[in-house]
Amino acid sequence: GLHHYLSDDAEIVQTAKQNHAELLDIRKPKSARDNAFWTGDILNVRAPRIAMFGTDCALGKRTSSIWLRDACREHGIRTEMIYTGQTGKLQGGHYGFILDSTLNDFVSGELESAVMLCDQEENPDLILLEGQSSLRNPSGPCGSEFLCSALAKGVILQCMPKQKFYLTDYERELWPMPPIEEELELIRLYGAQTLAVTLNSSDLTKRELQAEQKNLEERLGLPVVCPKEEGMGRLVPVVKEFLKLQAEKTKTLTD
């Protein structure tokens, strides 16, 4: 699991050999010579990018990304998703890499390469980026790569209203989570726009979830959607407006 590989365990290797079995360590990183550095060719990618971020780890970012991809496709938006973890790969993702088993020097380049390949082969209207961890989880911050290196100009932020502390390796209540408004401001300072907020309803009653949804919409002035309970249909118009604005900006730059 995670950073421990079957092929490094002598007993498992021997057992597999005796039984003519193949060991597949899907998280085992590529050699350094096979990884890509960031080149800047991301500037030539046509499809706009939206990153699915979270306020912490393990909030359902990948699942929400898949649901949003499917909702967009149902409404005629040709949408692809870049996976960044092993589960996305196992679920049949065609484009992506396993971020937390990639040497740090190559994370931006591997992300850029995945986006470029997807854009070249699929010519999509939109590319969704599956986020990992959160911008400020102290045990493993992640996210700036999607904004700086993949140039995602839109963000959908998933949060769990009941959660008050960041998830760490030891699951201790060690580091309090900041207000969601601070996360939106940080995203803005990176040059991206938060388009909507999605809610993980864990540990909430239906009434509590509805109250949290209403409260956040009033506080943030953004659409707040509960993916599990109501689907992603409400975000399709938000995506369409984002794509329209990105097309207008591109036209202005090329005129």
What pTM was computed for the model?
A: 0.94
Whose CA is closest to 61, among 137, 117, 173, 118? 137
DSSP string, 218-254: HHH-S-EE-HHHH-STTHHHHHHHHHHHHHHHHHHHH
Would you say residue 80 has pLDDT above 80? yes
Q: What are the domain boundaries of the chain? A: 1-30, 41-254
Per-residue pLDDT tens for 157-177? 999 999 999 988 766 788 899
Per-residue pLDDT tens for 107-128? 999 999 999 999 999 999 999 9
User: What CATH class does 41-254 carry?
Assistant: alpha beta
Per-residue pLDDT tens for 210-225? 999 999 999 999 999 9
Per-residue pLDDT tens for 89-106? 999 999 999 999 999 999
Cα radius of gyration rounded to whole Å, the chain:
19
d(CA 1, CA 5): 7
d(CA 87, CA 69): 16
- φ/ψ bin of 37: left (φ > 0), alpha (ψ from -120 to 50), beta (otherwise): beta
- Contact (Cβ atoms closer than 8 angstroms) between residue 192 and residue 155: yes
Query: Which pLDDT belongs to residue 1?
Result: 54
Task: Return the residue matching tokens 């960041």.
Answer: 166
Would you say residue 248 has pLDDT above 70? yes
